[in-house]
Amino acid sequence: MLKIENLQASIEDKEILKGINLEVKPGEVHAIMGPNGSGKSTLASVLAGREEYEVTGGSVSYMGKDLLEFAPEERAREGIFLAFQYPVEIPGVSTTNFLKTAVNQVRESKGLKPLDAVSFLKEMKEKMKLVDIDQALLSRALNEGFSGGEKKRNEIFQMAMLEPKLSILDETDSGLDIDALKIVADGVNKLKSKDNATIVVTHYQRLLDYIVPDFVHVLYKGKIVKSGDKNLALELEEKGYDWIKDEEGVEA
Amino acid sequence: MAELTLTDQFTTIFEAKTGSKEGLSDFQKGSFEAFNTLGLPHRKSEAYKYTQIARILEKNFSEVSVPLETSWDIAEIKERFYPVNEANHLVFINGVWKSDLSEIKSDANHLQISVISESELDLLGKVSNSSRDPFAQLNGAQFSGGLFFKAARNSDNIPTFIYHFLDAENTSISFPRILIDAETGSQTRVYEKTFVNGDAAALVIGMLESKVESNASVRFTKLQQYPKNVYAVEGIYASQDKDSRFHTNTFTFGGAVIRNNVVIDIDGENCEGHMNGLYVISGNTQVDNNTAVDHKQPHSFSNELYKGVIDENARGVFNGKIYVRPEAQKTNAFQSNNNIILSDSATVNTKPQLEIWADDVKCSHGCTTGQLDEDAIFYLRARGISKVRAKALMLTAFAVETLEEVKEELVKDEIESIILNKLG
């Protein structure tokens, strides 16, 4: 589904990603872990198409196409979903109105007719249950004045509505208490299928207790320095990132 | 023949005026003298710093007159009415109120609608202090067929729509004048819009005065969807007695140069004064909103929100003054002006001005001018929304906030669709 080869990216001439290799197949869950500043969020942003980042080398192939050629909205329409670490507050635009626009633009790109108000509401009600989100929240301006937990739940709700093939969760656990974390993880798990894949970007292991990864990769200084199964996350939790830093230090 | 200055032309128009009753004619003479003393705002006038109004008008109105005939016919006029039966529909042609073309539903016991006459001399020009405003004085000198609107305590609260029809086949000028007397406990809702025929330069020197007596409420909404040949200097002067509410909403979507002067005197306790505005402009349009609220008594509240979206070579100017006098303790006064600039050649000048002499007050002001938030646009695009659509969503959301205070659904829908047309 996704094949990243030797991906290099920089922002304002500062090199952040220094050659990432990663392959994700349908049905898989990959966790990307790493200390602060290692490039985790940059990787998520580059995959979603944030224009401030300049790709300076390497390639990303998604469903056999050159992903880097696509604008952010085209990526979304092709099934890539980024759950933001910091969902943006947009005054005056209700979540409902925003999502209706998004869902229908995605449908239009596939040659489908827009959902009418009734079908859209029905769809929304169904997906609201997944993340236990309140109707009242959705009529409010998008993310404006939402608590941290509400924002993250809203991200997963949007994910449920857009039914992506590849979801990238960028630090979705940050700022969540354990109850909110469970709700969010539960939502993600319910959306999992053999046809879609998930990349979980996280600093801490605790989210991975609930969203169990098939693969864990450790990102450090812009490169994946270690890969393994879910036990690697536990090992990291126990030994801390200094362990990786020390190992890397020795190798260097 | 030597070219006449604009002031010379005003004199010609003034001297040609006939039919004014004696008492009124004294008022008009006095106003004309005041105008001549003040003169058009000069180049260094602080109040017109960003809009060189004298130069602009001199340049575009080398020969100007009040049209004597109209190309608008009755059927055309009635077609423009909002489809509301239970409403007063009042028609002005070239600044003159036409009772025969108007439809008045209100009972005369509830609402008196008549031409301004000498009986109103105790109010006319005296609602609040406009003695330093040359355009208010000019209007006072030149208007004819002004509208007097007096709402009684038991007013029926049906809406009043005012339609201005202008003839601009030749360079023209008009001086509409409206005087509202909202008596104690009355409710008034007035909506105003303008239609223009022809594409020669048209100048509107307009004046609205509103006396809001105790416990009365006046809501006034003005839609300025002018074509690009219209120049306008329009004043709204209000004064509020205790426990009263006054709302103005000004929506500007076009025109050549539009200057709005809004002045509210809060001369009673427990008043609420609101001034809202939106300007969504492009091309070479210039809109200058100049506002002032004067808190003269304690325990009142004023709120002001002006928003602008400025594209191409357009220019938005905002100047908001808040005065809080020493007696006006416990005043709450808020003001904000937010602008989004869409092109490199668009300009905004914004200037809040607070003068506070009382020490126990809550006042705040803020202005922002910027571009659309790139992070927000990316967020919307990351959900599959195109860049164009994302911008439109954000701009319309930004703009429609100013519609909250428009209570008449038809008008609200109309303005919303204009916004969507321009920004969507």
Q: A78 is written with which tokens?
A: 């092709």
pLDDT at A192: 93
CA–CA dist B233, B255 (Å, integer): 11
Residues 6+ apart with CB under 8 A from B212: B182, B218, B238, B239, B240, B241, B244, B245, B246
Query: Closest Cα of chain B to A106: distance in Å?
Result: 6
CA–CA dist A143, A128 (Å, integer): 16
Residues 6+ apart with CB under 8 A from B113: B88, B90, B99, B102, B104, B106, B147, B148, B149, B150
CA–CA dist A138, B133 (Å, integer): 49
For B397, other C-beta atoms within 10 Å of its C-beta total: 20
Query: Closest Cα of chain A to B249: distance in Å?
Result: 19
List the domain boundaries for chain B: 6-267, 373-424
Cβ(B240)–Cβ(B267) below 8 Å: yes
Number of residues that this document lists for chain A? 252
pLDDT at B49: 93
Q: Mark which residues 383-402 of B lie under 8 Å from A by CB.
A: 383-387, 389-390, 393-394, 396-398, 400-401
Residues of A with CB under 8 A from a CB of B: 48-51, 71-73, 75-77, 81-82, 84, 87-93, 97-99, 101-103, 105-106, 109, 141, 158, 162
B368 contact residues in A (CB cutoff 8 A): none
pLDDT at A249: 64
Cβ(A83)–Cβ(A75) below 8 Å: no
Cβ(B400)–Cβ(A92) below 8 Å: yes
Among B381, B394, B401, beta carbon nearest to A72: B381
Residue B238's Cβ-count burial label (10 Å; 0-12, 13-18, 19+) is buried
pLDDT at A245: 80
First to last CA, chain B: 51
Cβ(B376)–Cβ(B398) below 8 Å: no
- Mean pLDDT for all residues in chain B: 94
pLDDT at B15: 85
Cα A78 to chain centroid distance, Å, stands at 15
pLDDT at A92: 87
Confidence class for position B20, pLDDT limits 50, 70, 90: low
Handedness of CA B132, B133, B137, B138 (dihedral sign): positive
Contact A102 B381 (CB under 8 A): no
CA–CA dist B57, B62 (Å, integer): 8
Return the bridge partners of B300, or none: none
How would you write B104-147 as a 3-class SS string? CCCCCCCEEEEECCHHHCCCCCCCCCCCCCHHHHHHHHHCCCCE
CA–CA dist B1, B6 (Å, integer): 15
Interface test with A, best of B383, B398, B400 (most A CBs within 10 A): B383
Q: pLDDT digit string (tens) for B94-152? A: 999 999 999 999 998 899 999 999 999 999 999 988 999 999 999 999 999 999 999 99
Q: Is A111 left (phi over 0), alpha (psi -120 to 50) or beta?
A: left
Helix (H, G, I), strand (E, B) or coil at B155: coil
Return the bridge partners of A14, or none: A11
Helix (H, G, I), strand (E, B) or coil at B343: coil
pLDDT at A242: 85
Q: pLDDT digit string (tens) for B146-173? A: 999 999 987 777 999 999 999 999 999 9
- DSSP run (H or E) holding B39: none
A87 contact residues in B (CB cutoff 8 A): 379
Cβ(B257)–Cβ(B231) below 8 Å: yes
Edge-to-edge strand list for the sheet holding B187-197:
B96-103, B88-93, B160-167, B187-197, B217-225, B245-254, B272-281, B301-310, B332-341, B362-370
Q: B253, B350, B312: which is closest to B50 by C-alpha?
A: B350
pLDDT at B22: 64
Among B375, B383, B398, beta carbon nearest to A158: B383
- Give the HSE-up count for residue B54: Cα atoms under 13 Å, Cβ half-sphere: 14
Cβ(A101)–Cβ(A76) below 8 Å: no
Residue B39's Cβ-count burial label (10 Å; 0-12, 13-18, 19+) is exposed
Query: ipTM of this predicted complex?
Result: 0.95
How would you write chain A as a 3-class SS string? CEEEEEEEEEECCEEEEEEEEEEECCCCEEEEECCCCCCHHHHHHHHHCCCCEEEEEEEEEECCEEHHHCCHHHHHHCCEEEECCCCCCEEEEEHHHHHHHHHHHHHHHCCCCCCCHHHHHHHHHHHHHHHCCCHHHHHCEECCCCCHHHHHHHHHHHHHHHCCCEEEEECCCCCCCHHHHHHHHHHHHHHCCCCCEEEEEECCCHHHHCCCCCEEEEEECCEEEEEECHHHHHHHHHHCHHHHHHHHHHHC
Among A72, A89, A103, beta carbon nearest to B382: A72
pLDDT at B19: 58
pLDDT at A204: 87
Cβ(A44)–Cβ(A16) below 8 Å: no
pLDDT at B1: 43
Cβ(B377)–Cβ(B386) below 8 Å: no
Q: Mark which residues 322-381 of B lie under 8 Å from A by CB.
A: 373, 375-376, 378-381
Helix (H, G, I), strand (E, B) or coil at B351: strand
Q: pLDDT digit string (tens) for A242-251? A: 888 887 765 4
pLDDT at A38: 92
pLDDT at A72: 97
CA–CA dist B174, B197 (Å, integer): 14
- Give the HSE-up count for residue A135: Cα atoms under 13 Å, Cβ half-sphere: 6
The mean pLDDT values, 10 residues at a time, for chain A of 252 residues are 96 94 97 92 96 95 96 97 95 91 95 93 92 89 92 94 96 88 92 95 91 95 93 89 76 46
Query: Closest Cα of chain B to A47: distance in Å?
Result: 10
List Cα–Cα distances, A230 to A39, A126, A236, B53, in angstroms: 21, 32, 10, 73
Torsion of CA A86, A92, A95, A96, to 10 degrees: -170
CA–CA dist B13, B80 (Å, integer): 30
Helix B409-423 and helix B387-400, axial crossing angle in degrees, nearest 10: 150
- DSSP run (H or E) holding B334: strand B332-341
DSSP assignment letter at B65: B
Q: A183, A195, A219: which is closest to A24 by C-alpha?
A: A195
Q: Which CATH number fits domain A13-89+148-238: 3.40.50.300, 2.60.40.10, 3.40.1370.10, 3.30.870.10?
A: 3.40.50.300
Q: What are phi and psi of B269, to 5 degrees?
A: -85, 160
Contact A99 B383 (CB under 8 A): yes
Which range is most confident: A116-130, A233-247, B2-16, B222-236? B222-236
For A149, other C-beta atoms within 10 Å of its C-beta total: 16
Q: A242, A213, A240: which is closest to A227 by C-alpha?
A: A213
List the domain boundaries for chain A: 13-89+148-238
pLDDT at B21: 63
- Decide if B200 touches A, using CB distance below 8 A: no
Q: pLDDT digit string (tens) for B266-324? A: 999 999 999 999 999 999 999 999 999 999 999 999 999 999 999 999 999 999 999 99
In chain B, the residue whose alpha carbon lies closest to the alpha carbon of A101 is B385
Calculate what percentage of chain B has a pLDDT beyond 90.
88
Helix (H, G, I), strand (E, B) or coil at B323: strand
B402 contact residues in A (CB cutoff 8 A): none
Please determine, for residue B71, whether its predicted confidence score (pLDDT) is greater than 50: yes
Q: B58 is written with which tokens?
A: 């001199």
